[in-house]
Amino acid sequence: MAINYVCRHCRTLIGRIEATGVTEAQLGFHSLTPDERRDIIAYDSHGEMTVRVTCDYCREAIDHNPELLLLTNPLQ
């Protein structure tokens, strides 16, 4: 099962893990609430996991311009 890390704002691929046997505890997902899991983690029909996080570029832009969070797609 591959795990893709994608920026939730600009949709840039940040990284990909293609290791088998990686547990959710090793990735830190066990500490997420059910609502956080639904917001952050998605599975596709091939069994791949997509984890939506914020890349450094978008984090910096949002830190300097917090009003961007009011937009649906602030950095696209």
Cβ burial 22-45 (10 Å sphere, 16+ → b, else e): eeeeeeebeeeeeeeeeeebeeee
Cα 24 to Cα 26: distance, rounded to the nearest angstrom:
5
**What is the model's pLDDT at position 76?**
57
pLDDT per position as a tens digit, 1-21? 799 999 998 899 999 999 888
Where exactly are the structural domains of the chain? 3-70
Can you give the pTM of this predicted structure? 0.83
Report d(CA 18, CA 25) in Å as an integer. 16
Residue linked to tokens 């949709």: 11
